[in-house]
Amino acid sequence: MNVIPQTYSAWRHCIEVECGIPLTPEYIASRLNVLREPAADETRRFVQRYGRVHWRRVVAWFETAAEQAAARES
């Protein structure tokens, strides 16, 4: 069993249900601010631990979540 989410829906479930973190526009923006900065310490640790491919995937998932949140608000 792979504990690292491999799909957007599994990632979203992991964050919202298993971790209990609501994907609010504010939370999404704060995570993207860090993850989009390759030189940030947190981002470098993330890439070192999970790899560049997963890092890019997670950034894309946060971007998808941001688009969905914006669509709900409009």
Q: What is the residue-wise DSSP string for 6-45?
A: -SHHHHHHIIIIIS-----HHHHHHHHHHHT-TTSHHHHH
Can you give the pLDDT at residue 2? Answer: 73
6-64: per-residue pLDDT in tens? Answer: 999 999 999 999 999 999 999 999 999 999 999 999 999 999 999 999 999 999 999 99
* Phi, psi dihedral angles at 51 (to 5 degrees): 95, 160
pTM above 0.85, yes or no: yes
Contact yes or no for 25/70 (Cβ under 8 A): yes
pLDDT at position 3 over 90: no
Spatial CA neighbour of 58 closest among 2, 3, 4, 1: 4
**Domains of the chain by residue range:** 8-73
